[in-house]
Chains A and B, each alone.
Chain A
Amino acid sequence: MKRVGLYVAALGFMAFAGFPFYWMFITAFKQNRDLYVGAFDTHHVPWIFNDPPTFEHVRLLFGQTDFLRWVANTLLVIVAVVIITVVLAVPAGYSLARLAGRWGGRLGMGIFFTYLIPPTLLFIPFSRVVALLGLQNSLGALILVYPTITVPFCTWLVMGFVRSVPWDIEEQAMIDGYSRLAVILRIAPRLILPGILTVVVFTFTLVMQEFVYALTFISSVDRMTVSLGVPIALVRGDVYHWGSLMAAALFTSIPLAILYNLFIDRFIQGFTMGAVKG
């Protein structure tokens, strides 16, 4: 009896969390005459395929919209922001954990708090900075600004990760005659590789999800990212192409969801900041 309750509750949560994705799926593959039937028609069940599924919307999405262009733009921004984030955050996190001494923790906390300053507070001053630099309507603006979201959190993540790696191996290397710098350059990267990978994945997901700065800085359809172009530009005149729209949302969500499932525990360690003791 208790087991039944457990499964019912689990299914309930899955239904609430997953329902919009089921709706994306069924919308993406329904024929228009099956899709656009008013909800007041109680004899037409919208939850199922009443007509055979179709790839028409997917074909439209890949063939006649800028979707692939947006994917390419997004990937370009991701690569640039990942490089900037790794170069800035990984050494900083290591430094805070191993070199900064007593002040490391506090400074790390200070950097982490800047993660709480939201894009919706900074987008107005940034619109001016971006104009001054002549970066309006260019992916360069996004590459410049996105690390403001990733660097603080990733520095904090790396700091936590380095602290969890035992000091022995680095210490032994120094006893063996390595300089401190040689340890940092040759020994440490291998030890903190999983932490670096987490930074890469976290940056990837944040860039995929970002909407505010893209909306503020990018106005040409061909320079949009996926998260901006799909909801803003996948509209012909006043007509929403719901089939193609939902296909785009679905195809973008699935890879992100897989990444989240693989890295969830690492992200959570960053968020709980010591409120959870391992």
Chain B
Amino acid sequence: MKFADREDLLGAAMLGPALAYVILLVGVPFVLAIMLSFSSATAGSLTLTWAGFRNYSTILADPIFLRSLRNTAIVTIGSQVLVIVLATAAAQVFRAAFHGKRAARFVLLLPWAVPVSLAAIAWTWIFDSTFSVINWTLKVTGLLHGWLYWLGEPGLALFAIIIVQAWRIFPFATVIVLAGLSSIPQDVVEASIVDGAGFWRRLFKVELPLLLPVIAVAVLFGVVYTATDLGVVYILTGGGPANTTHVLPTLAFQRGVLGADLGQGAAIAVFLVPFLIVVAVLMLRVARRAEIGAGGGAR
């Protein structure tokens, strides 16, 4: 058989370059990240000196690191809970037909389309300590009597970070849930209506269980996007005030890149891996379920 008809050779030739690129520029750096975390490498020199678990023992004894680990969990969980609620509700609204829906959808998608860093700088201006329009509005409506230093106080700053992360991810989750809603078999929904189920009963007993895999996918991407995000915290607070709002990525950047301590920076970033493994395993389970479902449906 000629080369032009050998599917195996053609397949390998077409897949090879992409596979090689991914292995060289994702696989190798990933391993290198783990190796660096066990070394005392600095940005200046190119040597890799084995340092055992020293970087890990250093950061585990460091209250700023422990706080950043906690902040990462708080921000990720807090924002994703908000995302689930907002996205499920928004999907219920946007599945209906109404006037101006195209314009509404355009606005809804804006937070997902805008570059993270530009959204973060806009929010920085919105949360400004002197000019915050939120403070003005709260004061005029009589809800606020003192003053809120949004990015100047640790608790408020974390709250602001959660709001921005939820804001930027819920449109994405909404669209995914909408895609899921459109694939729910209509006869199931109609049967529940015939059986006399109202809106809430239908939502919680029929639709949400069927939507679970789709919501899971949206949340899993949301977890990855939030837990590993550097831009929002870096621009909004820079980890401040007094290093209280760092998350793992910003602390890894501060120590590893700005502080030139590659080993410690890598060790901090490696703590993202458990988040990612959990997400990957859950995604595989969702995908396998969907595969079985699709296969069963086709036959």
Q: Is the CB of B122 within 8 A of A246?
A: yes
Q: Is the CB of A272 within 8 A of B253?
A: no
Partner of B110, one of A6, A17, A132: A17
Given A116-B276, A151-B21, also A249-B122 (CB < 8 A): yes
B172: shortest Cβ distance to chain A, in Å?
8
Binds A, one of B63-71, B151-159, B227-235: B227-235
Given A124-B265, A180-B4, A253-B118, also A99-B29 (CB < 8 A): no
The number of residues on chain A lying at the interface, defined by a beta carbon within 8 Å of a beta carbon of chain B, is 107
Q: Is the CB of B22 within 8 A of A114?
A: yes
CB neighbours (8 Å) of B118 from chain A are 227, 230-231, 248-249, 252-253
B11 in the interface (beta carbon within 8 A): yes
Q: Is the CB of B4 within 8 A of A148?
A: no
CA distance A94 to B17 in the complex (A): 13
B95: shortest Cβ distance to chain A, in Å?
10
Given A151-B22, A180-B4, A249-B114, also A275-B122 (CB < 8 A): no
B99: shortest Cβ distance to chain A, in Å?
8
Q: Is the CB of B33 within 8 A of A121?
A: yes
CB neighbours (8 Å) of A242 from chain B are 125
Q: Is the CB of A10 within 8 A of B98?
A: yes
B97: shortest Cβ distance to chain A, in Å?
10
CA distance A246 to B125 in the complex (A): 9
Given A6-B96, A268-B175, A276-B214, also A121-B119 (CB < 8 A): no
CB neighbours (8 Å) of A208 from chain B are 115
Q: Is the CB of B18 within 8 A of A92?
A: yes
Given A129-B29, A180-B10, A182-B4, also A274-B287 (CB < 8 A): yes
A83 in the interface (beta carbon within 8 A): no
Q: Is the CB of B214 within 8 A of A275?
A: yes
A25: shortest Cβ distance to chain B, in Å?
10
B201 in the interface (beta carbon within 8 A): no
Q: Is the CB of B27 within 8 A of A127?
A: no
Partner of A39, one of B17, B136, B231, B235: B136
CB neighbours (8 Å) of B132 from chain A are 39
B15: shortest Cβ distance to chain A, in Å?
4
CB neighbours (8 Å) of A205 from chain B are 113
Contact with A along B104-119 (1 / 0, CB 8 A): 1111111111111111
CB neighbours (8 Å) of B21 from chain A are 88, 147-148, 151
A76 in the interface (beta carbon within 8 A): no
B36 in the interface (beta carbon within 8 A): yes
B80: shortest Cβ distance to chain A, in Å?
16
Q: Is the CB of B290 within 8 A of A155?
A: no
Q: Return 11 A-B CB contacts under 8 Å, by A number.
A: A9-B93, A10-B94, A10-B98, A14-B104, A23-B133, A125-B32, A180-B10, A227-B115, A256-B115, A257-B106, A277-B290
Closest 8 CB pairs of A and B: A99-B11, A118-B228, A92-B18, A91-B14, A120-B249, A181-B4, A125-B32, A179-B4
15 additional A-B pairs beyond A20-B119, A23-B133, A88-B18, beta carbons within 8 Å, are A13-B104, A18-B107, A21-B110, A35-B131, A46-B136, A87-B17, A91-B14, A92-B15, A116-B276, A120-B272, A148-B21, A179-B4, A211-B231, A240-B125, A264-B109
